[in-house]
Amino acid sequence: MALGAHVSISGGIHLAPARGKEIGAEAIQIFTRNQMRWTARKITEKEIANFQPALKANGIRRVITHDSYLINLSTGKVELRKKSIDAFIDELKRAELLGIPYVVFHPGAHGGDGEEIGIKRTAEALNEVFAKLEEYSVIALIETTAGQGSNIGHKFEHIASIIDLIDDKSRIGTCIDTAHIFEAGYDIRTREAYEETIHEFDSIVGLDKVHAMHLNDSKTELGSHVDRHENIGMGLIGIDAFRFIVNDKRFDDIAMVLETPGGMPMFKRNLEILKSLRE
């Protein structure tokens, strides 16, 4: 696997790979636009031309993007749904322009209408997006969630149900967030618990669908359904789970990125810890 972190695109997307190298990253996750605004500036020709060479020059082996936090593909609100679908289409277009193979996204919140309805809405929205971008190769990765509020995605069955409803399954995959699954109630703190959780995910969703992981410890307890990330080994998951993960050959070919607090200095420290756990 390639270990890394979510890095800034300040000054231009093509500058992100150098920030990854600065902290010792082998993989990076980026936003390609301001994650808290509906409108987005165009990606410049300079950014497009220089991004892939910058990845190579800085030793970044894997790259993924994360979509805007405003997007909610599960909503029942007509205006928000349209804005979300349009924005998600833009996210995939931007990734395709940059040669980024994966866009990570939260499956959304049903707003009180129920999980089954929320799952159906998310899948319908994705089918609409993929139909409009039929010639594109970028894959959308459903991120596991903590289950805060009315968010879907905190049960492995939710992920599987969305995938089952997708017409073109080559366009869909998953991203496992360690803090989120722990907060959702899936234990990974001991070898036995870790293997049980990974086996459960494999039997329900399939490990072949995992194309990325977010490596985050948790500030909140097992099954809390409260999403709060912590630095590696400093939270309630603990260091052993991350040792299991970084040595798990089943995940050898994916990006594993940090979204821990503390910015670049802590990313560097956390990456040093993760690398030290490799056997």
Predicted pLDDT at 188: 98
User: Tokens at residue 230, please?
Assistant: 């912590």
- Tell which CATH architecture fits domain 2-276: Alpha-Beta Barrel (3.20)
Do the beta carbons of residue 130 and residue 168 sit within 8 Å? yes
Strand ranges (E), the chain: 2-6, 27-30, 62-66, 102-105, 139-143, 172-177, 210-215, 217-218, 229-230, 255-258
User: Tokens at residue 277, please?
Assistant: 């756990």
Distances in Å between the alpha carbon of 233 and those of 112, 178, 230?
35, 12, 8
Angle, CA 120 vertex, CA 115 and CA 126 arms, to 5°: 125
From CA 38, how far away is CA 230, in angstroms rounded? Answer: 28
Q: What is the pLDDT along the chain (279 residues), one digit of tens a residue?
A: 899 999 999 999 999 999 999 999 999 999 999 888 898 999 999 999 999 999 999 999 999 999 999 999 999 999 999 999 999 999 999 999 999 999 999 999 999 999 999 999 999 999 999 999 999 999 999 999 999 999 999 999 999 999 999 999 999 999 999 999 999 999 999 999 999 999 999 999 999 999 999 999 999 999 999 999 999 999 999 999 999 999 999 999 999 999 999 999 999 999 999 999 999
Closest CA to 89 of 71, 74, 106: 71
Do the beta carbons of residue 147 and residue 108 sit within 8 Å? no
Distances in Å between the alpha carbon of 198 and those of 100, 176, 202, 206?
27, 10, 6, 9
Q: Report the relative pairing of strands 27-30 and 62-66 from DSSP bridges.
A: parallel
Whole-model pTM over 0.95: yes
Distances in Å between the alpha carbon of 13 and those of 26, 135, 271?
17, 24, 22
Cβ-Cβ contacts under 8 Å for 161 (sequence gap 6 or more): 119, 123
CA atoms within 13 A on the CB side of 77: 11
Predicted pLDDT at 37: 87
Amino acid at 266: M
Do the beta carbons of residue 124 and residue 135 sit within 8 Å? no
Predicted pLDDT at 240: 98
Predicted pLDDT at 34: 87
User: Tokens at residue 202, please?
Assistant: 């494999």
User: Tokens at residue 128, please?
Assistant: 């609409």
Task: Convert the pLDDT of each residue in 84-136 to its tens digit.
Answer: 999 999 999 999 999 999 999 999 999 999 999 999 999 999 999 999 999 99
From CA 41, how far away is CA 43, in angstroms rounded? Answer: 6
Long-range CB contact pairs, 128-132, < 8 A, 24+: 128/85, 129/85, 129/88, 129/89, 129/92, 130/166, 130/167, 130/168, 130/171, 131/167, 132/89
Predicted pLDDT at 35: 84
Predicted pLDDT at 213: 98
